[in-house]
Amino acid sequence: MKFYFLFIGLVALIFPVLFLADKKVTFKGLRKPVLWASVAAFVPYSLLTVFFVSAGSWVYEDQYLIKIFVLHVPVEHYLLNFALCFSGAMVYSYVNQKFNNNNLQKYSLAFSNLLLGVCVAFIFFAHKYSFTLIAFSLMLLILFLVEYVGKQRFMYKFYRSFLLMLVPAIAVFGLLKMLPIVKYPYSDALKVAIFGGATENIVLFFAMFLICIYTYEAVKHKKELNG
């Protein structure tokens, strides 16, 4: 049982290898954007993990851990954070090579504005829950900066990839809570779950995934300019 959490992280990390089986898609020349994007999202994701664990918003069941901790966070969680970021970058790269139609980009800003409104609503009505407040505030801030400050336009491609990443992400978060490997005290979060996983986890993953893809596009764009 103590290897369950480690196993989940390893499966999430190995998941992108499936894309290598498609010989029509190549990741040659995209290794640097994928790696930088993964690291750029992994760092804040892990810092937030340390914060939530220290604040008592996330509690682990010791029987599922190998009991090696860094800043009170089990190493398995760091592995999972990186695996989700890396998988996200790989999914984004694969999907946008396989399906390069970007005709719906013109509607992405309107959809982003809708999500910004949803974030404001949750922040207003659920501000007493610290986990909820932080997750939706981060999503609001990062989405706003990407759409209204950043110059890269890729949100349709991002939303398309995020929908695909929702399947493994929901499965992972739901499994973590169902076993349970990680517990979320109701005093810090809404009593709303998506297939067993805390809604805030999906929102937080959205924000980190957006950091990941913004970095990917920035590094890729810089590489193209430099030839």
Structure confidence by residue, pLDDT tens digits, 87-101: 999 999 888 888 887
Residue-level pLDDT at 227: 58
Residues 9-31 have a mean pLDDT of: 78
Report the predicted TM-score, pTM, of the whole model to 2 decimal places.
0.91
User: pLDDT-based confidence at 131, cuts 50/70/90?
Assistant: confident
Share of the chain above pLDDT 70, in %: 91
Residues 36-56 have a mean pLDDT of: 94
Residue-level pLDDT at 184: 76
Residue-level pLDDT at 222: 82
Average pLDDT value for the chain: 88
Which of the residue ranges 166-180, 189-203, 205-219 has the most confident prediction, judged by mean pLDDT? 205-219
Contact 76, 145 (CB under 8 A): no
Between 127 and 85, the more confident residue is: 85
d(CA 169, CA 101): 25
User: Which residues contact residue 141 at a Cβ distance below 8 angstroms, ignoring those fewer than 6 apart?
Assistant: none
Task: Please give, one letter per residue, the 3-state secondary structure of 155-176.
Answer: HHHHHHHHHHHHHHHHHHHHHH
Contact 9, 76 (CB under 8 A): yes
Q: Is the pLDDT of residue 196 over 80?
A: no
d(CA 113, CA 132): 20
Q: Extract the tokens encoding 61.
A: 């069941």
Q: Is the pLDDT of residue 23 over 80?
A: no
Between 140 and 193, the more confident residue is: 140
